[in-house]
Amino acid sequence: MDSYAQGSTATALIEQTIGDFFDAMAQRHPEREALVSRHQGQRYTYRELHAKVSQFASALLRTGLQPGDRIGIWSHNNVEWVLMQLATAKVGLVLVNINPAYRTAEAEYALNKVGCKALVAMPSFKTSDYLGMLRELAPELEQCEPGQLAARRLPFLRRVVWIDAPGQGQEQSGMQRFSELLATGDANDPQVAQVQAGLKNTDPINIQFTSGTTGFPKGATLTHRNILNNGFFIGECMKLTPEDRLCIPVPLYHCFGMVLGNLACITHGSAIVYPNDGFDALTVLETVQAEKCTGLHGVPTMFIAELDHPRFAEFDLSSLRTGIMAGTACPIEVMRRVVDQMHLSEITIAYGMTETSPVSCQSDTATPLERRVTTVGQVQPHLEIKIVDPVTGETVPRGQSGEFCTRGYSVMHGYWGDEEKTREAIDAEGWMHTGDLATMDEQGYVNIVGRIKDMVIRGGENIYPREIEEFLYRHPKVQDVQVVGVPDEKYGEELCAWIIAKPGALVTEDDIREFCKGQIAHYKVPRYIRFVDAFPMTVTGKIQKFAIRDEMKKLLGLSEAKTA
């Protein structure tokens, strides 16, 4: 049997725009809670949120922005982010997510690559001074009226809006307060309805930059149809209803918060709950208890931080039922602890990438636990998936590893302004090539075994670092681990493990080798073991294996084996 599967088509795709769908949901559940922002002390019902969104959509149109124009959001999680997400969709503006970890050069690249005409930014966060970075890029702000910017380094940008607490903070020359911009709108503006009626669900609505571990980030361009349907079917997998309250500590600038969080809730009449603007394990635990959240999202490191928090046992998490663990490989041990200790009996795992809106596989709440913790589930509705030989392009038999490809409504519109890169990613038949190595079992469950470029070949043996990482996670003193290949004269490549020990735990290289003895094949035991405090990461929290590899090469004085 070939590694090919097609999702169910029993439930039809949504063919409305996000604006039309949200209007209908607000009419259906006007008095249900839609949004709670704990750190801002704000709460909105669907009726109240709808009025605010309509008012903000009107304000955006009144600045002269037109459907198809790009507007950036450079902020952590807050109410303003949601207003931006829904209001831009309502009037056909393309929302450009700018990562809050970006610095001046990255922000300049992103704003100019897609030609943002306006930008909404939070003033600062921890060590990031966003308005300061903008003044550095556009000193012309000092001299201009809000909305009249003409900056040499940011030639497309006209308007900068800063997220304020109304009545607080100093005025910013050349910039407009968010509260002031909002006040210029009218929730019953007929122009909003007129513009909204002219939109198509295949119009681009969102640009998200993929954190390339190499080269410049690419702007994956997504439509209403892409992300509205993906959000809906993700929520279906979690069995969301209007009774559910989803705690979202993952960032909105990334698909995880924006689609798997916000849109999964909005398509089911559920409540969105933000514990904080940045991640903090204690705030998450407090929020779940206080708001009686039924769902919780996170990447594995977040769940680990919550489980290992010294005050974990103080909190009542019995309201929890479901959620999603995703973002990177989900260690089986962590999944088990989350189910046993956090009441997340129906937690699901999702797999995807920004370019596919993002989810293409997800486990269901009913998936048997063993399968739920060891796979990324089955194909999502209305999508096709296949696993192909990376060299020949032929579909491989079930159980054999190859490159994961997907096709269907979820595949992005393309990379903004980059036809060549789009053609490299999406083939002539519409298949998105992910660069991920995967296997598919007899029942169609998919397992991600690594990245094509992470695979280590030692003395002719193909080794998947993921498998060794999963094994080392079981060591009682290991908190996190990354395995990479480093050059070796004899074998071509050797394995190297970087390990973060649990707080207060003492563990040696010999302990790790002893733990491996007789448990995994000798060639899979890492030759080099190093204990570290942290891993090098991209700004979206993806671990940069190439940086670990480069540092080890320097440390060991190794060079790549030259091939003829």
Question: Which tens digit of pLDDT belongs to each residue from 479-510?
Answer: 999 999 999 888 889 999 999 999 999 999 99
Task: Starting at the earlier edge strand, list the strands of the sheet with 295-298.
Answer: 42-45, 33-37, 271-274, 245-247, 295-298, 322-325, 346-352, 359-362, 378-379
How far apart CA 438 and CA 443 sit, in angstroms, is 15
CA distances from 109 to 113, 115, 211 (A): 6, 10, 13
CATH 3.30.300.30 positions along the chain are 470-556
Identify which of 128, 98, 103 has the alpha carbon closest to the alpha carbon of residue 116. 98
Catalogue the E-assigned strands of 63-199.
70-74, 94-97, 116-121, 124-125, 128-129, 159-162, 176-177
Residue 189 tokens read as: 């503006």
CATH 3.40.50.12780 positions along the chain are 13-435
In this structure, the number of other CB atoms found within 10 A of the CB of residue 538 comes to: 16
Please enumerate in sequence order all residues whose Cβ is within 8 A of that of 117, keeping only pairs 6 or more positions apart, or say none.
65, 69, 70, 71, 156, 157, 158, 159
How far apart CA 2 and CA 452 sit, in angstroms, is 20
| Whether 226 contacts 410, CB under 8 Å | yes
Domain 13-435 classification at class level: alpha beta
Amino acid (1-letter code) at residue 59: A
How far apart CA 84 and CA 185 sit, in angstroms, is 13
Question: Which tens digit of pLDDT belongs to each residue from 309-346?
Answer: 999 999 999 999 999 998 766 778 888 999 999 999 99
pTM of the model: 0.88
How far apart CA 258 and CA 268 sit, in angstroms, is 15
- CA 149, 155, 159, 164 torsion-angle sign: negative
The whole-number pLDDT of residue 464 equals 82
Domain 470-556 classification at class level: alpha beta
CA distances from 45 to 30, 66, 164, 355 (A): 7, 29, 22, 32
| Whether 471 contacts 504, CB under 8 Å | no
Amino acid (1-letter code) at residue 527: R
Instruction: Kindly provide the b/e burial profile for residues 372-385, where b requires at least 16 CB atoms within 10 angstroms of the residue's own CB.
Output: bbbbbbbbbbbbbb
DSSP 74-105: E--SSHHHHHHHHHHHHTT-EEEE--TT--HH
Walk along the chain (564 residues) in steps of 10 and give the mean pLDDT of each run: 98 99 99 99 99 99 99 98 99 97 91 98 95 98 98 99 92 97 99 99 97 74 99 98 99 96 99 97 99 96 94 99 86 89 96 96 90 91 97 94 98 97 96 95 93 83 86 95 92 94 96 92 92 87 88 86 41
105 burial via Cβ count (<10 Å: 0-12, 13-18, 19+):
exposed
DSSP bridge partners of 70: 94, 116
The whole-number pLDDT of residue 211 equals 63
In this structure, the number of other CB atoms found within 10 A of the CB of residue 316 comes to: 12
How far apart CA 310 and CA 516 sit, in angstroms, is 30
